[in-house]
């Protein structure tokens, strides 16, 4: 089939406009991430937390620019996988990256599950300080129910995603509107900020909160007027979320004392809402967080199962992952099981560092792909080059910080890399097939 025929065939399926594409990006980012990592960032960066979120947002914006360029040229449901394989070819390097991308979604499943259990616990009597048993039960609930939904009706939560996004956005805007007037400027005064390196470390530690805008690329083949719509959707979604995150961070660190942030780091946003809206504000945010993280787990399980299936059909994962169990790809069960294990075994800070490191590495390669693919416009190449530098420097900051203060995350990352690179080089490359996505 010719390229032109393929594109014309896709034209009949184009049903997503600017609003829909932008909503996909915002929904992908404002999921469980902000609820999971806000306390982590606030505890480390204190009054400079809004700056930390802004810096992380700049790195995301640079990467979104590269995604926009590549999405227009390579309109495919394969998204990140398609970009990497199309630009660099299919080899050990790209095969390993695709598997690492799947691992990134497994880790984000764990992050969302941790946030789900922490916020769900606050809705129970005495739940602001849940014991290990309650935490494990809630974590299992947060993963097993979405897993079961994927077995029976994978679109059940997906069809309600628009409503869930609207609810959580509305609640977050109410919290911001009510909280801004109550902010204590003394708590965000630059004199109280930590060293610049600590601010950067906090920003990169919670970079995973911006993971999700790349989902627009997976819908690129269904977007109307993609040459105009895709760049605008990436820019709008990332820009809106940067503003949202900075304002949320401003309210949290301006409303809570350092000791209060430490005491409520697992549910910091709900605690901040209670200072301006009382207990009803606390409950509103907790319910919003439970809904958001639940839907994020469901969507991540759904997407990662299909990602693993696609990678397996290309010969970059064992052939057994091409099979189905209970009418769903085997990758669904693997993602749920490992994600649950990580959520129970690791603290939120370690999971966040691990997820941020993985996506910074992947995004560095996507920026490099945009740099390599662009041959005519110098300023475009320059932005992609800055994106590469930004992601690499950010990755170095995360790794350096974790080596000294959070070695668990880096040990898990090292084990992951050894397993992936070893399997790819020794076994999987023999059955690899040309990429056709």
Per-residue pLDDT of the chain (437 residues; tens, 9 = 90+): 333 433 333 343 567 888 888 888 888 888 767 888 888 888 888 899 999 999 999 999 999 999 999 999 888 777 888 888 888 887 777 778 888 888 888 999 999 999 899 899 988 886 666 678 888 899 999 999 989 888 876 556 556 666 777 887 888 889 899 999 988 888 888 988 989 988 998 999 889 889 889 888 888 888 888 899 999 999 999 999 999 999 999 999 998 888 888 888 778 888 889 988 999 999 998 998 888 888 888 878 887 887 888 777 777 777 777 777 777 788 889 999 999 999 998 888 889 888 999 999 999 999 999 998 876 677 888 999 999 999 999 999 988 888 888 888 888 888 877 877 776 666 555 555 554 55
Task: State the total domains in the chain.
Answer: 1
Q: What are phi and psi of 336, to 5 degrees?
A: -65, -45
Could you tell me the residue range of the domain that residue 21 belongs to? 14-431
* pTM (2 d.p.): 0.85
The answer to whether residue 210 is domain-embedded is yes
The answer to whether residue 373 is domain-embedded is yes
Tokens representing residue 238 in the block: 């990332």
The answer to whether residue 206 is domain-embedded is yes
The answer to whether residue 2 is domain-embedded is no
Question: Tokens 């995150």 label which residue?
Answer: 245
As a dihedral over the C-alpha atoms of residue 295, residue 298, residue 301, residue 306, rounded to 10 degrees, the angle is: -100
Helix (H) or strand (E) holding 326: none
**Could you give the 3-state DSSP secondary structure of residue 409?**
helix
CB atoms within 10 A of CB 152: 10
- 79-84 long-range CB contacts below 8 Å, 24 or more apart? 79/214, 79/215, 79/217, 79/218, 79/220, 80/214, 80/217, 80/362, 80/366, 81/307, 81/310, 81/311, 81/435, 81/437, 82/435, 82/437, 83/217, 83/366, 83/369, 84/365, 84/366, 84/369
Residues 6+ apart with CB under 8 A from 379: none
The answer to whether residue 293 is domain-embedded is yes
CA dist., res. 111 & res. 206, Å (int): 11
CA 109 vs. chain centroid, Å, equals 9
The answer to whether residue 251 is domain-embedded is yes
The answer to whether residue 21 is domain-embedded is yes
CATH number, position 124: 1.20.1740.10
The answer to whether residue 280 is domain-embedded is yes
């Amino acid at each position: 089939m010719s390229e032109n025929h393929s594109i014309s065939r896709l034209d009949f399926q184009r049903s997503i406009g600017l609003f829909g594409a932008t909503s996909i990006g915002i929904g992908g980012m404002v999921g469980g991430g902000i609820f999971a990592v806000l306390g982590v960032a606030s505890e480390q960066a204190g009054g400079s937390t809004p700056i930390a979120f802004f810096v992380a947002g700049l790195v995301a914006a640079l990467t979104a620019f590269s995604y926009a360029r590549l999405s227009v040229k390579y309109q495919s449901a394969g998204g990140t996988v398609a970009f990497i394989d199309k630009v660099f070819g299919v080899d050990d390097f790209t095969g390993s990256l695709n598997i690492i991308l799947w691992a990134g979604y497994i880790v984000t499943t764990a992050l969302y599950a941790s946030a789900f259990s922490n916020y769900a616990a606050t809705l129970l009597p005495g739940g602001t300080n849940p014991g290990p048993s309650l935490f494990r039960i809630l974590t299992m609930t947060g993963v097993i129910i979405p897993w079961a939904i994927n077995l029976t009706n994978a679109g059940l939560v997906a069809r309600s995603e628009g409503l869930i996004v609207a609810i959580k956005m509305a609640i977050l805007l109410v919290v911001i509107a009510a909280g801004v007037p109550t902010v204590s400027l003394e708590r965000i005064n630059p004199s109280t900020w930590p060293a610049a390196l600590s601010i950067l470390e906090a920003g990169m530690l919670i970079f995973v909160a911006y993971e999700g805008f790349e989902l627009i690329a997976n819908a690129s083949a269904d977007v109307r007027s993609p040459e105009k719509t895709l760049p605008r959707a990436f820019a709008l979604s990332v820009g809106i979320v940067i503003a949202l995150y900075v304002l949320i961070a401003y309210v949290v660190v301006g409303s809570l004392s350092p000791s209060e942030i430490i005491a409520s780091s697992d549910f910091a946003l709900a605690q901040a809402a209670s200072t301006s809206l009382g207990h009803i504000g606390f409950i509103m945010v907790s319910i919003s967080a439970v809904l958001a993280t639940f839907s994020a787990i469901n969507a991540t399980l759904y997407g990662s199962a299909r990602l693993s299936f696609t990678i397996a059909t290309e010969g970059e994962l064992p052939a057994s992952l091409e099979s189905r169990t209970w009418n769903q790809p085997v990758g669904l069960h693997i993602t749920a099981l490992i994600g649950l294990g990580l959520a129970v075994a690791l603290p939120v800070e370690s999971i966040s560092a691990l997820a941020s490191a993985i996506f910074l590495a992947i995004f560095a390669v996507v920026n490099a792909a945009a740099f390599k693919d662009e041959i005519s416009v110098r300023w475009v190449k320059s932005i992609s080059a800055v994106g590469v530098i930004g992601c690499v420097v950010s990755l170095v900051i995360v790794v350096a910080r974790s080596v000294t203060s959070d070695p668990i995350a880096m040990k898990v990352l090292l084990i992951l890399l050894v397993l992936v690179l070893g399997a790819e080089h020794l076994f999987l490359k023999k059955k690899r097939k040309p990429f056709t996505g």
